[in-house]
Structure 1
Amino acid sequence: MDIAITGIGVGCGAGHGKPAFRHALFDAPDLFGVLRREGRESPADTPPFLGVEMPDPPDILPPRQARTASFSARAALSSLAEVWDQAGLDAVAPERIGLIVGGTNLMAREQALALRAYSDRLVYVPPRHGHMFLDTDICGLCTAAFAIRGFARTVGAASASGAVAIISATEALRAGAVDACIVIGAMQDPGAHDLQALRAMGAMGAPHFADSPGRACRPMDRDHDGFLYGEACAALVLQRSGDVDDGAILGRLLGAGQVADGTRGPEPCSAAQVQAAERALAEAGLTAADIDYVSGHATGTPAGDATEIETYRSLGLGHARINATKSITGHPLSAAGVVEVAAVLMQMAEGRLHPTRNLETPLDPDFGWVGPGGATHAINHALKFSFGFGGISTALIIGAP
């Protein structure tokens, strides 16, 4: 049973909405700089944290309610409003609409600020703090603002959360639980403690590009030194292909694979990545030879990029075009899988591939990298990888409409 994607809502460092995201993808402006949102200050005498921060989301909630919503929740509501309209969900019975939010520990920065603000006056903690920092608060705000009455839940898989949420939505549709399922790759909002921990483990980079943030994010380039965080959020609507008009279909989810490799931390595993791709290809009834485009997980970490290239070799993907959306948006952590599927769909619609910023000296020049200039290319079958800490490897096969 093919699953159709019928709506996209998105926000990134270039702004909120598909026009801003399209501009970011194909014009590839330099969105990187020092992270300045309160609670992301680097330790004294250390380089600042670099990355991408987005503008404030448009107002969806009434002002009184908006004041009690986290930044992540307001970004999610903005993407949901956009996707709701595009997919025409007002025509679907509310009890036949589901919601899956991809991500965990989504409001760490704001929770840390609250702990700091009330540390010496705990008796004055606002009652709303009992629920507003829970990931499920995004479910509650979304279902209160929109007619979603089927089910609502969150799923967590670190940086693969968005992709796992998409897989969960396809399972709900195939089981007949709902007729439309909204997937939100929620904006994960790390604070200074989280960013310093990621830097300490060697995952987050940029110390030797501290004076030139725009050059620091370099997926698959020999001069990479780690990922850069990027604020982003995206929403998709998934429906059974037979339930919608062909003209409403933006792309088709043909297959998916998810594998646990048995590791705890950030150790990538090529064998698991290959297995996830093979499962997705088998479900789609395709082989690697049918894949003409790969949207890499491609974070810019030395171990991650090298392992992913090994996966490409093992699968025989030397013929496919490959690019890295994180070179433009930064790494949105939990939201990455949904943001990057949105990018795949927009590239399908445009018949061209977005640039990979700063890809000047590829780690392996024998692959079909899309460099800083972008490329014209009609995507028929795309392979989208997403990997997460904790040994989570996922692969999605997306077909053109």
Structure 2
Amino acid sequence: MPSPRPDVHPPVVTGIGVASGLGHGKDAFRQGLFEGRSVFALLARPGRQRGDGSPPFFGVEMPDPPSILPPRVERTAGLSGRAAVAVLDEAWREAGLDRVAPERIGLIVGGTNLMAREQFLSLRDYAERLDFLPPRHGHVFLDTDICGLCASQFPIRGFAHTIGAASASGAAAIVAAAEAVSSGRVDACIALGALQDVSALDLQGFRALGALGAGPVCRPMDRGHDGFLYGEACAALVVTRPELAGGTIYGRVLGAGFCADGCRGPEPNSDGQVRAAQDALADAGLAAADIDYVNAHATGTPSGDDAELETLRRLNLGHARVNATKSIIGHGLSAAGAVEAAAVLIQMREGLLHPVLHLETPLDEGFGWVRGGMAEHRIRHALKFSFGFGGSNIALVFGAPEGAAA
């Protein structure tokens, strides 16, 4: 449900850390987005292919995270944990969180079942000698392990917990972080969309559902779409009260809508999507006519794209520019909402929009798709959609920093 009235001093985003197939750090992310660089390829990490002659899985994998952790700790941390620490370090430094009392800093990790590939490999390697399973497996399978890893390396002493909403988990973390700051529970809260480290078993499950594309590229909102392609990704956004912002302000978190539509599996539901957007707009004190840019969920699945287009039509958003970040970096699953929110805020700061790749024959020509390369556009109010299996529908409204866009 939306708030009774808009917050006159909405929380702001003051730090961003991001990692994707474009590389580690905001500079690599920014450059790759605006260049529209395609990075899809065969998935190569151990445990990601069936190896039985069946069609291979395509997607996007990132370079290994930088070594930030002490060696003794790094040896016990999986890919998801190491990526989380790297993006948190970047966001923490930019936001200057060392100035904030540790007891006034919170962390919300968006994502569940984050280390499936590691468990898959462990079962393969230790099935015949379970007595030799390393002790770390007693806790690394828990989603809270990433909370503990981050809080052990950074002075986060307010709270640290996870939140799950399938592919909307990263966006759900932003909603919860903004609420924690607005309520005064903490002065700063980090919303972290965690890297969901999938295995061949998970990918085969998506294929069996008919949700996974055949590759080699992903085509959101195009007549040639046939499903999503997985993309490793992770992002951290620091949300604070505006009076505590020390330097950079990327944008304001003006409104959020988070609702259930009663579906269990992968069935997209336009009614739930519209209701989430209407709640977010009411929370922000805005109308759909005030939105000048939409970052679509846009997975590339036929049913998902069709439902989202219906939602855009029902909201009368034909005047807004629209792009799809998954066309460049793939679908980050748990991380997607946070990584794409980072893309929204970076575009807002730069006054540029990244293109939608592989959009040759749009399903609907009546929208302001960003095609053929990056485009200049000064975003005033952005709408970000994130939807997840299990009927989770989230819409976020971001506004430019006060005085930044007339």
TM-score range relative to shorter protein: over 0.9
Moved over 2 A (4+): 242-245
Alpha-carbon displacement from aligned partner over 1:355-398 (angstroms, at most 9, x marks no partner): 11001110000111111322111100000000000000000000
Q: What SS does structure 1 have at the residue aligned with 2:166?
A: coil
Name the residue aligned to 1:170: 178
Number of paired residues?
A: 393
Q: What SS does structure 1 have at the residue aligned with 2:196?
A: coil
How many angstroms apart in 2 are the aligned matches of 1:305 and 1:275? Answer: 17
How many angstroms apart in 1 are the aligned matches of 2:371 and 2:300? Answer: 14
How many angstroms apart in 2 are the aligned matches of 1:162 and 1:14? Answer: 19
User: 2:195 is aligned with what amino acid?
Assistant: M
Counterpart contact for 2:36–2:373, Cα < 8 Å: no
Range 69-78 or range 172-181, more displaced: 172-181
Counterpart contact for 1:70–1:133, Cα < 8 Å: no
Name the residue aligned to 2:32: 24
How many angstroms apart in 1 are the aligned matches of 2:159 and 2:226? Answer: 41
Name the residue aligned to 1:300: 300
TM-score by length of 1: 0.97
How many angstroms apart in 1 are the aligned matches of 2:90 and 2:177? Answer: 19
RMSD (Å), alpha carbons: 0.9
Name the residue aligned to 2:270: 270
Name the residue aligned to 1:112: 120
Alpha-carbon displacement from aligned partner over 1:131-154 (angstroms, at most 9, x marks no partner): 012111111110110111100000
Name the residue aligned to 2:243: 242
Counterpart contact for 2:36–2:374, Cα < 8 Å: no
The alpha-carbon deviation at position 43 of structure 1 amounts to 5.0
Match of 1:193 among 180, 187, 201: 201
The alpha-carbon deviation at position 286 of structure 1 amounts to 0.2
How many angstroms apart in 2 are the aligned matches of 1:43 and 1:18? Answer: 35
Query: Is 1:379 the counterpart of 2:387 in the alignment?
Result: no
Alpha-carbon displacement from aligned partner over 1:300-355 (angstroms, at most 9, x marks no partner): 00000000000000000000000000001100000000000100011011111001
Counterpart contact for 1:204–1:226, Cα < 8 Å: yes
Alpha-carbon displacement from aligned partner over 1:50-74 (angstroms, at most 9, x marks no partner): 0000001001111111010010000
Query: Is 1:228 the counterpart of 2:229 in the alignment?
Result: yes
Structure 2: runs of 5+ lacking an equivalent? 1-6, 402-406
User: 2:302 is aligned with what amino acid?
Assistant: P
Counterpart contact for 2:34–2:373, Cα < 8 Å: no
Q: What SS does structure 2 have at the residue aligned with 1:294?
A: strand
Name the residue aligned to 2:3: none
Name the residue aligned to 2:218: 217
Question: Aligned ranges for residues 79-158 of structure 1 at < 5 Å?
Answer: 79-158=87-166
The alpha-carbon deviation at position 240 of structure 1 amounts to 1.3
Question: Aligned ranges for residues 46-61 of structure 1 at < 5 Å?
Answer: 46-61=54-69
Structure 1: runs of 5+ lacking an equivalent? none
The alpha-carbon deviation at position 236 of structure 1 amounts to 0.4
How many angstroms apart in 2 are the aligned matches of 1:309 and 1:371? Answer: 17
Range 78-87 or range 125-134, more displaced: 125-134
Name the residue aligned to 1:15: 23
How many angstroms apart in 2 are the aligned matches of 1:334 and 1:197? Answer: 16
The alpha-carbon deviation at position 242 of structure 1 amounts to 3.0
Match of 2:13 among 5, 15, 25: 5
TM-score by length of 2: 0.96
Name the residue aligned to 1:315: 315
Query: Is 1:77 the counterpart of 2:85 in the alignment?
Result: yes
Question: Aligned ranges for residues 276-287 of structure 1 at < 5 Å?
Answer: 276-287=276-287
